[in-house]
A and B are shown apart, each in its own frame.
Chain A
Amino acid sequence: MSGYDAHNGSDSEDDGFNPAPMVDEDDIATNGDVRPSAHGDDDDDEDQAAPRRQQAEDEEDEDEGAGRDEEEEDDDEEEDDDDDEDVVQRPHKRRKKQRRNVFLDVEAEVDDEDEEEEEGDDEGGIEEVHPDDLDEQAGADLDDRRHRELDMKRQVDAQKDAEQLAKELDEKYRRREMQRAQKAAAGAVPLSLPTVNDPSIWGAKCRPGKEREVIMAIMKRIDELNHAGRPVRVYSAFERGGTMTGYIYVEADAKQDMISLIENIPNVFMGQPQIAIEVKERPDLLRKRKRDPLEEGKFVRMLRPALYKGDLAKVVEVHANGLDCTVQLVPRLDYGLGEDANAGTDGTKRKRGNFGRTTERPPPKLFNENEAKKKHMKHLNMAGSGGQKTFTYKGDDYQNGFLIKDVKINHVNAGNVNPRMEEMQFFSVTSADGTETLDLVAVQAAQKAAQTGSIFAAGDNVEIYDGEQKGVRGTTVSVRGDIVTLRVTEGPLNGRRIEAPVKTLRKLFRDGDHVKVIGGSKYIDEVGLVTKIKDDKVTLLCDSTQQEITVFSRDLKRAADSATLGHDSDFELNDLVQIDAATVGCVVKVDREVLRILDQNGNLRTLIHSQVSTILGRNRNAVATDRDGSEIRNDDLVKEHGGEGRSGYVLYIHRGVLFVHNRNEVENNGIFVVRSTNVTTLAAKSGRTQATGPDLGKLNPAIQQGGSNGNAMPPPRSMGRDRLIGKTITIRKGAYKGLLGIVKDTMNDEARVELHTKNKIISIKRDLCGVKDPVTGNSMEFGGKFPNRARGGYSGSTPAYNSGRTPAWGNPTRNGPSWGTPAGGRTPGGPSWGGGRTPGWGGGDGSRTAYGGDGSRTAYSGDGSRTAYGGDGSRTAYGGATAYGGNDGSRTSYGTGFNSSGGRTPGDPTWSGAPSKSPSNSLSAPTPGAYNAPTPGPYSAPTPGEYSVPTPGGAPLDAPTPGNYSAPTPGDSAAHPTPRGYGGYGGGYGATPTAAPTPGAWAPETPWAGGPETPAPSGLDEDPRYD
């Protein structure tokens, strides 16, 4: 051994080895030629291996050209062999070089004279140089020559008949096979079976997976013993890796020898006794397992690159050395999407990857050029053209979307492949007419290994198609593991029971049999009539689809029943499913393997079941808004705005997308996708009210904010039972004008009124209701709602309220009266408000402006008020607030503001009354701005003078106002849900009365404005200011 190690394969020894050829001519040619020439060349060629290889290839080309020559045919074959086995077989190349020279000379004479001369020049003084070397030096000429050679080769190829080529190849390979067979036969030396005289073998336990290390450790110990000159009494030790994990076997004469050698070797378990292997069992320990031969087109499972472990792959090519193969894989790429931009170099990253995969490996997907271009343009190279585009991406080749990879054969597993349908779909072959078919043969090859007895059931007609009993037919009686017992029904063995392995059996069917597919293909559970049988492929006409399908007979079972396509799909029609993280869809068709899904973008997708991650249930709380701003919930009837104007019931709401179902539509099972902002609600389920316009209050941040500050008046909300219900009212307007009734129910701005006259319930706008005292028949302020208001002693606190407002606003002229009235009759008259007041407002142009001139106006002013706070679209109310207008402190009418609060309050009518300004908005006033507006600034702005002037009754007013105000305010606030703001008022007012006209009084009011500041300004400035 050491001698060999020392031996370095020197040339001298090689030269000495020049065997006398004893095989056939080929071999003579090969060996006789090769070696000497090789060594002859070695001197000058040694350092130029690479270029020479190139040349060698060129020469081969030429040789092929010459191949037409009969005499050279044999040689040609040899060369081809070399090509197959390894491109870089040196000896042959060298030999060829010689021949090439001959050829070259001829060629040179014919048409290369110029070149030769040039070369000669280039070479300078070198005579008699090997023409090959010439070439190497004359780089420029080399190119030229190559081109010529290529041309020649092409010419020759073209001339050569394809058939002839095939024949040659065939012959060549057959001969090789024969040679091998001969040798094998000749070399079949009967191996000596063990005898009792041979050493014994013991099996010892070791740590599984460490067998090789243990054997190496034993070898080391043997070496040590040898080195020390001590006898080694163990002859050999071996392991069988995968077949017998956890055991090593040691060959020795005596057990003690064996134990003394292996003890203290790490990973050998000495705790358990070693087992002596019986003599006759020993050969089994060394049995070689024939590896499943890999064939092109076969399916295998990957073992090695961890990324593809377990993935299905198709063998494209098996390399000549039998150790490597090229496989076709569905790549798992993330195209750098998951890449950490801050990660170090590739090297470190790869290293990290070795320690357990932290992230999920990307799903298998065909290579996508565009994806790769996004982030990894630099890693991407393109080659080829037309339909066959080849990409090189990060060092791997991709063809037709598949990864083409060279792997070692021990990194793939050809057994137990059992491809699943999802995996197979990638490998389906798209034929010319666009239909996708699977290569059944390949599938069969892949699934063969998986055959078990379970595919046979008692009573199946079977045939043995392989082995000694080939051709025997019978009926299965029982199945045990992989052994099937069958009763022979034909032939000489008729009636006998024999056993046969599953592998050799196939099921027999006859034309016309009614069969069911029980596995193996995508047609599982299909039932049909056998129409054609060829070998073990059976064609049947499906009952359900009336299509002919071809499956393997082993996947069939005779079936009495008719087709029941009971698919066990997890998905049902109209399920909302998650497709990927960002996509959902609605199932519009459920097939056995595929789902048709309408995704949120309105695209129809066909997915297999496993591609759909989860079913998203229906979210009860899902809400969307339609184009009018009304809310949409499930089951609402909506109509597409524009487009086709489709309508239907909302099935699902996903973000802003509605899945709408309309039974009358045919397409997509009646489901279509629209954006919620592109529909109008026709009817809401269960009478949910639909706002007529966008609810600005909800959208307006200022309001929300104001609410939270407590400064602004929150939108009025009715708490609890509507006070109007149960009230006796008269109807003030419309067809029912003047009729008396009782409010039975209210809804937003409508009231259901049971009329006294006829027993009938009608719906009217609630602001058409004038509340009456059921006993006296007098108009009354709404239900004693504001009991405290009257505080000021004015009986009709209400009036005060209203009046206050009006006057304040109103033209001075108006005011006068209004004021007066309020206290008295006016108040009660609901209608009066509406009418009178509004005008007040309107008329109040002056007044308003007064305010308004500035931002203030918006705040208060009718306008502002209008917008202000409506609960609903309608702006209501509180323009009233503007009441301030009253320059005089007294004036401060604004009680109105309160009213605004709700439709409920009498105020409502009032507002509405002010048609000119804010016609529709009685209720909704709520533009926040309104609130804010009343900043002091505004106040100051308005020239007081104006007002003061107009309000003649200033003084008179003074008195009332306070009373009024003080009274109403509290009441209001109480009535309205938003106590705070009002409370503020209340206080303010309260103050006013005492203070009366003085601005100081106002100060407190300011709370309206929302700011304490307000007061201050007001305080500073005098009343006039307000105006």
Chain B
Amino acid sequence: MSYIPSSQQRHMRACMVCSIVRTYSQFMQSGCPNCESFLELTGNGDAISDCTSQVFDGLLSVSNTERSWVARYQRLEGYVPGVYAIQVEGILPEDAVVAAENAGIHYIPRDGSVSEALPTEG
């Protein structure tokens, strides 16, 4: 399900919000399992190319997002098990950010540009 055969791996894209990795056609068919409610990627090629990125680094398979420290550290708690990226490049369009905020999700870029990934005091 989350498995992507190696022949398809060059079409992999990562969602810029939740970092889940799927192929373009998977996004096209069923959207992003975590963010579909506000990103509305299904069947929307433009949205897919805007909100997902081909440029990502580090592949992470998670079987249990609650128990795994890695998943927690990657802020994947509550997401579906599957393959995620550790770092996702790209800038999420403003309206998608707004949509995410409206959906109650704190959007934190996963491209390493923001240092909030490190614990801050207070």
Contact = CB atoms under 8 A, between A and B. Distances in A.
Nearest to B12: A212
Contact of A86 (B46, B67, B71, B80): B46
A92 interface: yes
Interface string A204-244: 00000001110110111011001000001011111111100
B17 to A, nearest CB: 12
Given A1-B82, A186-B106, A187-B106, A410 B29 contact: no
A363 interface: no
Given A194-B69, A322-B89, A17 B58 contact: no
A191 B73 contact: yes
Interface stretch (A286-294, A717-725, A727-735, A988-996): A286-294
A212 B97 CA distance: 29
A321 B114 contact: no
Interface in B83-114: 83, 86-87, 89-91, 93-95, 97-99, 101-103, 106-114
Interface of A: 1-9, 13-14, 17, 19-23, 27, 30-31, 34, 81-82, 85-86, 88-92, 176, 180, 183-194, 198-199, 201, 211-213, 215-216, 218-220, 222-223, 226, 232, 234-242, 251, 282-283, 286, 288-291, 320-323, 408-410
A408 to B, nearest CB: 6
A199 B87 contact: no
Interface in B27-54: 29-34, 36-38, 40-44, 46, 49-50, 53-54
B116 to A, nearest CB: 4
A8 B63 contact: no
Contact of B80 (A4, A19, A34): A4
B46 A90 contact: yes
24 contacts: A1-B81, A4-B30, A4-B33, A4-B80, A7-B30, A8-B31, A86-B50, A88-B46, A89-B95, A189-B75, A192-B73, A199-B68, A201-B70, A216-B83, A223-B1, A226-B81, A235-B64, A235-B71, A240-B57, A251-B70, A288-B86, A288-B117, A289-B87, A291-B112
Nearest to B31: A9
Given A4-B33, A187-B116, A191-B73, A238 B58 contact: yes
Contact of A212 (B9, B30, B53): B9
Nearest to A198: B69
Contact of A30 (B1, B6, B98): B98
B99 to A, nearest CB: 7
Nearest to A24: B98
A188 B107 CA distance: 10
Nearest to B33: A4
A323 B43 CA distance: 21
A291 B62 contact: no
Contact of B36 (A7, A219, A232): A7
B42 to A, nearest CB: 3
Contacts of B46: 86, 88-90
Contacts of A186: 106
Nearest to A214: B59
B3 A199 contact: no
Contacts of B44: 9, 90
Contacts of A13: 37
A9 B42 contact: yes
Contacts of A220: 3
Contact of B106 (A189, A212, A237): A189
B70 A4 contact: no
Contacts of A187: 106-108, 116
Given A190-B119, A191-B118, 4 more contacts: A194-B69, A219-B83, A408-B54, A409-B89
Contact of B83 (A17, A188, A215, A320): A215
